[in-house]
Structure 1
Amino acid sequence: MSEALFAPAADKAATEEGDRLRPKFDRDGLITAVAVDAGNGEVLMVAHMNAEALALTIETGEAHYFSRSRRRLWKKGESSGHVQSVVELRVDCDQDAVVMRVRMAGPGAACHTGHRSCFFRSVPLGARPTPELTLAVNDGGKLFDPEAVYGVPGKTDTPRF
């Protein structure tokens, strides 16, 4: 992508309060992207976007990300069918993170493990952590069998970071 996609970097006031999209990508060219359910606000997943992924998301209305592990662009649902249709895209004040309100296609699962959300476990609070700390599963279980959807164990739509 050789054409300018976004407004150039500017002073703090223009970035934090202006009306132009000036994403601040990190040194690896990435910005944090959070996907939340458009209906109930549940956090579904956190991933990263490069400039091309952000531009494609804006252009198509479907979530695109950049896989840090595979070093490539990917469209959510490209192998699973669990596409995220973006209802709203917001940028934070210093424009180094985005939050997308999305509607999920398919069984409504965002996580490659088969759970609705990647955040399906809770960490107990109130005591100093130890290596024996046990996470609590906080959802109703898997919505699909990842091996049946992805076919090959270890091949996932949502890359492991």
Structure 2
Amino acid sequence: MTRQKEALEYRLRTEAEPSQLIGVRRNVSTHLDLWGLEPMSDDVCIVATELLSNVHKHAGGGPADVSLWYPTGDTLWLLVSDSSSNVPIVQDPDAKTTSGRGMKVVAGLAEYWYVLPTRTGKIVACQFTVPASLLPTRREALKRCLP
């Protein structure tokens, strides 16, 4: 009988406020480091920050959930949920515009992203491909994180 591999998960409830972003980045980065995914930290943290900034600017702020999910294989998911049904869109602002590039950044850094409506708002899910060079570290991450 073979034992099924465990997915690694991390969840954080936060307020979608600028003052909270540094703590979110720190927590996300710490968990990626624990999981052996430190080289992915900058991209994932930038995307998390952009999504939470969108919740603050376009959805009225309030509570948001940030989740990392690293199932077996080469995929890492970042999920940000909030209580607004407003769907983020990729804009193409002109050079003089000082905002509106957040989802373009998300689309450029994540392999794939989509919006899942929920009864209480939405989830923005972003998929990142884990480089093959980091996959051997998964076994070590499981040893560190699981009892």
TM-score > 0.5 by shorter chain: no
Larger RCO (CA under 8 A, 6+ residues apart) = 2
More helix by share: 2
Structure 1-normalised TM-score?
Answer: 0.28
Structure 2-normalised TM-score?
Answer: 0.30
Greater C-alpha Rg: 1
